Every structure is written in C-alpha cells, then in structure tokens.
Structure 1
Amino acid sequence: MLSKILAEKREEAVKQVCLDPPSVSKPLKEKTTKAERRALQEAQRAAKAASKANGSTAVAESVKAAGAKIKKQSSQKKDGPPVTPSVTNDKKSGNRPLEKDRKKDAPPQRMQFDDENRVEKAKRRALVNQTEARNRVELFRHLPQYEHGPQLANLESKLFQLDSVHPAVFKVGLRYMAGDISGVNARCIEMLRALQEAIIDYSTPPEKVFFRDLTTKISSYISFISECRPLSISMGNAIRFVKSRIAKLPLSHTDAEAKAALCSDIDRFIHEKIIIADKVIVGHAATKVRDGDVLLTYGLSSVVEMILLYAHDLGKRFRVVVIDSRPKLESQALLTRLMAKGLSCTYTHINAVSYIMHEVTKVFLGASAVLSNGTVLSRVGTACVAMVAHAFRVPVLICCEAFKFHERVLLDSICCNEIGDPGDVATVPGRMDVNYLDNWTTEKNLQLLNLMYDVTPSDYVSVIVTDHGMIPSTSVPVIVREYGQEHYLI
C-alpha cells in the first residue's frame, strides 16, 4: 500500500516538472513594443467583456489567442518586414467599415416630391425655377410635376449669368429640357461629353485638393442636369463611374495628368460600354433572325434598328412590323430609315397590336434599364406589347447593354417614373377638329397623365440580349454581381 502511494506521488512530481520546468531551463521572455502591449491589453479587455456572456473559458481562450498573435508578430519582426499591429476590438474597428461599404453600395434614396419640407429646401438650392403644375395627378404627387415650356425661355436668358455651371453642361441641360436629345444612349453620351469638357477646363482653386473639389463640381453639374430632366438609370451608372475614377486617381499625378487620365477613362467607357457593346448585341441577336420571319418592334431603339439593318445586310429575307403610339410617335423615324434601306415594313398603332400579333414570329424591344429582379424599364407601352406577345406564345427578346443593369428592384411603374408634358396628350398634331382639350388646365376636376416609362415583368421576357451574351431574366442578378463593378475598373 505504501509503495503504491509513493509511486503516485512520484508520477505527480514528474508531471509538475513537465508542466512547469525550472526557471533555469525557461527561455528568455521576448521583448514586445509599446504598440504590441497596447494591442494585447485591448484584446484582453474585449475578451473580458465577452466573458460576461460566455463565462471564464472565453477569457482564457481570447487571451491565449491574443498572446499567440503578439508572439507571431514579434517573430515576424525579427525575420521579415515590420508588421503594423492591429487592434481587435470589434466595437472600434470591426463593423464600421463594412457598414459604410454597404451604405455606399445601396442605391441612393430618391426625393419624394410630396414631402413639402424637402421640396422647399431643394427649391432654394435649385438653379432652375420650376413652376408646379396646377392640375397635378394625386397618385403621382411623389414625382415632379412641373409646367413645361415657360422655364425653358427663362433658363436660356441665364446662359451667361450662372458661373457655377460650365457652359457645356448648361447647353446639354437646355437640350434635355427642350427634348432635343432622345434615347438613353444618346443622353448618356452627351452628358459624359459635357462632363469631359468641364474636366478639361477645370482648375484647382488655391488651398483645395484636386479630386475633392472636382467631385463637388461634378455633383453640382449633375444636380443642374437632373433639374432640367430626371436622370435615367444608365446615366446614374455612368456618373458613379466618373466619380469612382476621380476617387482612385493617384496623389502623385499633376492636375494635367489627372485630367488627361479622366478624359481617357470617359472615352473608353463610351467606346466599350456603349459602342462596342451595341455591336456585340447586334451580332448575337442577328443569329435569331431567320428567312421568312415577321419581326415586331415598338418605339425607337437604336440597337434594335442596328439589328434589323445588319440582318438585312446579311441577305436575310424578313418583314418588320413597326408599332407606334402617341404622343411622340417615335417609330415614324425608325420606319423612314428602314424603308430607305429597302426593308419590307408594316406600320400600325399600339391599339392594333393584338390583331397583328398572330402574324409575328419574334419581338425585338429596347430597354432603358434592366433591374435586379428581371423587370425591364422601357418606353411606356412596352409592357403591353410584351404581354400580348406572351399571350400569343411569341418570344420576346430584350436588347440592352450591361451598363444599364441596376441592383434596384421595381414591382410597378408608379414609385419610380418620369412624367412628360400633359399637353402632348391633349392635342393631336394636324387635327384641329379633334382638339377639344385646348383649355384643359382651366378645368379643376381634370388631370392629364403622360407617363414616360413602364415596367415589364420578367415573366413576359423570353431572353435578354446583352454584350455578355444571351441570358434569361433570372440571370440578371448574376450579371449585376459579377460584372457590376467592372466598369469602375476600366
């Protein structure tokens, strides 16, 4: 019995020596810097705070992990380049940068024009004196509803009085307000060219930083343009590209080098994201045109026009049905150009689309934007054409460049839209005998609505032809995620 007790005590002594060897055999303690000791203290405080919920085990593990990290950093200092100590306190440096990035990625909130306080503040800052329409549509009070016409002459008189707006930007704003520039691509290109001229003429004021002051200038120019006419989604993407390129300019660049780099980036954006993208879309879509097809299109889309002309140049024999609608009657310009090239065409209005759809084999439509849930934002009437085609089992092909894709989600065309001149709906050009609503503004109980865009649900879209290939509408979020940041890296 005694021998057994002695054996147990001997084993305990051996274990104690193994766990805690004599001080003679202990290695010298590694010397740490003041910053490393501060980092270790912060880690210990964080571990103690976490231990209130998790118990003393979390404290020991956190302190042990922090000590191992400090030792690893000190060993790296001896063997390699210096390592900057990092504080592991989640409250100070853990979540804030991530939340900031998420806020930047989120689409900006649009101003609701039924908020009187915000509207009054915006009016005080605005350069364009807009007059609210007298007969506003109640359902769309959250959208700007201004009188069209009077502010254009008032703004032209200020051409040489507004020093805060570059002349090129001012002229583009006037053309937007007058309706001289139509089409999403054309509006985007004109805006980028105007910003390019403004960047070339920009000079940094004293005691100012180039990229910060230029970003402020660009923002003021964009505010003026949006006052003349609301921006499209693709224009918003282009503006984000320009601002991101300004923010990523190297600090070592001189002003001349920075301006040259920005102008080169804008040129590449226009060339690659619009011009080359349209050519790629034309090549993909033309493969879907067969001899004997009857192709239907609606509105005036530059890329759809290019597809029809390219397929005709390839020698394919087909007929085109051009659908049009009031008040703009944009398809008449498309019809004229197609007939000049020798294409066989049929022209009718949108109210007869259900009567002619049984002859159609494919529908080609343009788009102002494609949203993350697969819905298509396009000229008002596009949804009607797509729904009729779906009912007749006719495939609908949406032709849209990838830079028009956006992470926003829309379920209807009410919350986000643009309202045109209501007077265009009240009159019929060349028909004075049917213009019964000439004085409609004097009628208090009459409101006219002229919506510019509508939303086509993804269920009525067969395929979306983009510069990344032909994809289903369910793959739009993939394009937004994988290629959404691509144009910032051109």
Structure 2
Amino acid sequence: MEVQKGKRAAGGKPLKEKTTKAERRAIQEAQRAAKAAAKGEGSKASAAAATRVNPTSTGKSVKPDAQKKDNSAVTASEKKGADRQPDKDRKKETPHPRMQFDDENRVEKAKKRSVVKQTEARNRVELFRHLPQYEHGTRLLELESKFFKLESVHPAVYKVGLQFLAGEISGGNARCIAMLQAFQESIRDYSTPPEKALIRDLTTKINSYVSFLIECRPLSISMGNAIRFLKTQIANLPLNLSESEAKANLISDIERFINEKIIIADKVIVKHAVTKIRDGDVLLTYASSSAVEMMLVQAHELGKQFRVVIVDSRPKLEGQRLLRRLVGKGICCTYTHINAVSYVMHEATKVFLGASSVLSNGTVYSRVGTACVAMVAHQFRVPVLICCEAYKFHQRVQLDSICFNELGDPDVVSRDYTRKEINSLDGWANNENLQPLNLIYDATPSDYVSMIITDYGMVPPTSVPVIVREYCRDQLWL
C-alpha cells in the first residue's frame, strides 16, 4: 500500500514522495534524448524525447522546469567535454613522471610506449637500479632509421633528440636553448585540428615531444623549468585570440625567455663575477662551464692579470676544449686531472664552478666531480664561487646524488680512446662481477659553497630559498 502525501512515519519525520518506476524511466529517456540532441543526431531524437516525457500510466507528469534543468545540465556537460580528448589518449600523450626503474611492471609498460628501442644494461649497479640504465650502442642507429616514419614528432624536435642522444649538444644552457628553439619551430608549423581547442591540443603535442626527448636523454632541471614556463604560457592564452596571434605570442614568449633568463642572465653573472678577480689571482675551475668561460674572457679583456688552473676528468674531458679556447684568447693556463686537485689547490686563490641546478637547501647539483673539487677547496680555505642562472633554481631538496641522477654510457669508462693500446677491459659485459658506473651529476652540500653568483646578485647559499620564493614562482616556472 502506497504512503499518501502528507503522512508521517513512526519517528515523526515526513516521508519523501515516492517516484514510480515509469516516472524514473521517463526522466532517463529525457536525459538520453538531450544527449543525442547535443551530439547533433537531429530533430527526430528531440521530438521523440518530447513524447516520452509525459507518461500516461501514472497520471503524473514531469514538471517542465525540472526537464529544462536536466537538459541544460546535460548539454553543458557535453559542451564542456566536447573538446576534451579521451582519457586513454591523454594518458598516452602526457610525459610519464620520473619512475623507479626497478619496478618491472612499470618498465614493461614504458617500453611499449617508447619510440626509442630500449635495451637494458646487463651489469647494473645494485645501488642505482632505480635509475634508467640502457645500452647506448644500438639506440642512435635505430632512431635514425625512423626519421621519416614518426609523424607524431616534429622534425625539429626529432633532430634535437638525435643530437642529445649522440652527445653533440651538451651543457645545461645549450640543451635548453636547443629544445626551446625546436618548440618554436613546431609551434610555427602547428595548426589546430577541427573540433579541438588550441590550448588543450597544443599542450598534448608538447607533452608528446617532451616524452620523446626524455627517451633520448633525461631532462635537466633547467629544461624542466623551461617546459613548465611554456605550458603555463599556453594555458594562460586569452580565448579571444586567433590561432596566428596565439602562435605569435608563444613564439615571442619563448624568445623572451631565452634572451632574459639565459643570455642576459649570463652577462649579468659575468659582470658580478669579474669584480671578484684581482691582479695576481690564480683561479681554479673544473671541466667546462659557459658562464665561467665568459667571465674569464671578460676579465682578460679588461686587462686583469691572473692565471687559470683547469681541472679535468674522464670520460668527457671537457676541460681540454676549454683549455684550447682560453689559450687561444691569450690567457695563461695550467691543466691537470682531478686526481691531482689536492696538489694544485694550494696555489689557487679562488675557485669558480658552474652548476646544472641549485636546490632550495643550497645544494649545488652539477657535473660529477664538482663536489670533490669544492670539498678540497674548503679544506684548503679557498673560497668557492658558483655561477648559476636563476632559472636553474629548483624548490626540490636533495641530500645526496643517489635518489636522483643520470647514468651515462658505462662503456666510455672502460675505454681510453686516447690510448687504444690499453684494452684490458674489453668484453667487460660478459663478466657478471664487473659493474662499471658512469654517473653524470653529483650534489655539493651548501657547507662547501662560499657564494652563489646569479642574475639577481651575489648571495650566500642560505638565501637561495628567498630567490625561489620571491622571484622564481612569480616567473611561472616553479
């Protein structure tokens, strides 16, 4: 027996009006008809919906106001999701986050999505199993063979990825500029597909390009900051702009980022760093940093008398190229390897080093060997000055170089290409007890850093969080 309207239950609370099955079915039919009408299936579906809304078996009818609300809500949701890509497609295009490579299931899934054929190294170091470790021998040839087959990757981005993989472009600033210029080319050639929004589709394209670059070589922290800046600029594009105007704005934003945050920032760093050089100084530097090189050349052009000690290490031997360039400019130089750094440190009056990034706790993240040089200089009471652009700062805190790092080709560690007669480690991959390790970066604690020279001025390591909080977040890359 149905409870009539107005009656109360035993507890004194009024009972809700009971809806019959026919009424519920009528409401569902109305919503389905509204969805069909929103998708453009024609006026027949809407006419059929109008006849289904008034059921005859109950004597009750659905109120027209409620029907309008249901239809408007469904139509609004359909319009909102009309330009949205399906979840599966979006998940495939978005760059996968930094993952633990000792998780076999996730590694297998990543291999299926990858464009570059990934062959895992056989002799892996147990402490670094969570980092990507691949054999570098066949990857470049396999990727070059797909140059004209990959339609999802723009040719400019593809070329930059090949150069990253081959090692033709190295260094934080050089890699970041090359990546941003490739994005500029891809944006110039971009056209919005029909029935899609520029903001969402272009973001998806950039995500796919980033995923490809990560497969070629893991991104540096500075490149990640630049990508976040570009995505923020895309998301903040005004909706009333035409496609050509939006593309012009993005290209201009990228050009402004390169000029202000890299080129002009280096000039400001050089201007500050030169003031720390006095006549008769012996300046020690490690490997090769573009900012440090510009500072040394500028000081020499100003007529300051000093000598440079270049400390280098295998396998890249970047200091040799720096040595040739400085000697060509007429600067007096001394060259040595890192195993002799404690012997030459007593001559140095200042140490100038570059950085891949500076973290919010003052830790300097740079090429492997930097921490060793900084610690030796600290022991000899020699001030250590770090030259680093502010766009490389990051709010992350890192206490070691194990959790986050990059592994290079272990084969270059076992070979000395300058002395081909030494081949005692040939065939090392067949020996399970031999595990060569080629780390790319290390972390220098802030205790061993005297000053950080940046485009916002010369600051101690303890002031890095202030720059990150007050400046970097306002610039939209953190």
Report if TM-score (shorter chain) is over 0.5: yes
Match of residue 448 from structure 1: 436
Match of residue 415 from structure 1: 403
| TM superposition shift of 1:484 | 1.3
Instruction: Give the 3-state SS of the residue equivalent to 1:208 in structure 2.
Output: coil
Q: How far apart, CA to CA, are the structure 2 residues paired with 1:289 and 1:375?
A: 24
1:194-214 CA-partner distances (Å, limit 9, x unpaired): 011111111111110000000
* TM-score, scaled to structure 2: 0.79
Q: How far apart, CA to CA, are the structure 2 residues paired with 1:130 and 1:171?
A: 19
Q: Does 1:331 align with 2:302?
A: no
1:414-472 CA-partner distances (Å, limit 9, x unpaired): 00001011111101113133221011011111110000000000000000000000000
Q: Does 1:231 align with 2:234?
A: no
Q: How far apart, CA to CA, are the structure 1 residues paired with 2:300 and 2:423?
A: 41
Match of residue 167 from structure 2: 179
Q: How far apart, CA to CA, are the structure 2 residues paired with 1:239 and 1:430?
A: 38
Match of residue 96 from structure 1: none
Aligned pairs for 1:143-292 (under 5 A) are: 143-292=131-280
Instruction: Give the 3-state SS of the residue equivalent to 1:133 in structure 2.
Output: coil
Q: Does 1:321 align with 2:309?
A: yes
* TM-score, scaled to structure 1: 0.77
Q: 1:475 aligns with which of 463, 466, 474?
A: 463
Q: How far apart, CA to CA, are the structure 1 residues paired with 2:475 and 2:160?
A: 24
| TM superposition shift of 1:123 | 1.2
Query: Given that residues 269 and 487 in structure 1 are in contact (C-alpha distance below 8 angstroms), is that contact kept between their aligned partners in structure 2?
Result: no
Aligned pairs for 1:7-406 (under 5 A) are: 110-406=98-394
Instruction: Give the 3-state SS of the residue equivalent to 1:432 in structure 2.
Output: coil
Q: 1:434 aligns with which of 398, 422, 433?
A: 422
CA RMSD of aligned residues (A): 1.0
Match of residue 66 from structure 1: none
Structure 1 ranges of 4+ moved more than 3 A? none
Percent identity among equivalent residues? 73
Match of residue 485 from structure 1: 473
Q: Which amino acid in structure 2 is aligned with residue 430 of structure 1?
A: T
| TM superposition shift of 1:109 | 5.6
| TM superposition shift of 1:190 | 0.2
Specify every segment of 5 or more residues in structure 1 that has no aligned partner in the other structure, as ranges: 1-107
Q: How far apart, CA to CA, are the structure 2 residues paired with 1:258 and 1:394?
A: 51
Q: How far apart, CA to CA, are the structure 1 residues paired with 2:156 and 2:329?
A: 35
Instruction: Give the 3-state SS of the residue equivalent to 1:294 in structure 2.
Output: strand
Q: How far apart, CA to CA, are the structure 1 residues paired with 2:432 and 2:341?
A: 35
Q: How far apart, CA to CA, are the structure 2 residues paired with 1:469 and 1:258?
A: 34
| TM superposition shift of 1:376 | 0.3
Q: Which amino acid in structure 1 is aligned with residue 335 of structure 2?
A: Y
Q: How far apart, CA to CA, are the structure 1 residues paired with 2:396 and 2:118?
A: 28
| TM superposition shift of 1:125 | 1.1
Q: How far apart, CA to CA, are the structure 2 residues paired with 1:385 and 1:160?
A: 45
Q: Which amino acid in structure 2 is aligned with residue 111 of structure 1?
A: M
Between 224-233 and 423-432, report the one with greater CA deviation.
423-432
Specify every segment of 5 or more residues in structure 2 that has no aligned partner in the other structure, as ranges: 1-95
Instruction: Give the 3-state SS of the residue equivalent to 1:186 in structure 2.
Output: helix
Q: How far apart, CA to CA, are the structure 2 residues paired with 1:413 and 1:333?
A: 27
Q: How far apart, CA to CA, are the structure 2 residues paired with 1:417 and 1:162?
A: 29
Q: How far apart, CA to CA, are the structure 1 residues paired with 2:214 and 2:469?
A: 27
Query: Given that residues 375 and 456 in structure 1 are in contact (C-alpha distance below 8 angstroms), is that contact kept between their aligned partners in structure 2?
Result: yes
| TM superposition shift of 1:369 | 0.2
Q: Give the total of aligned pairs.
A: 382
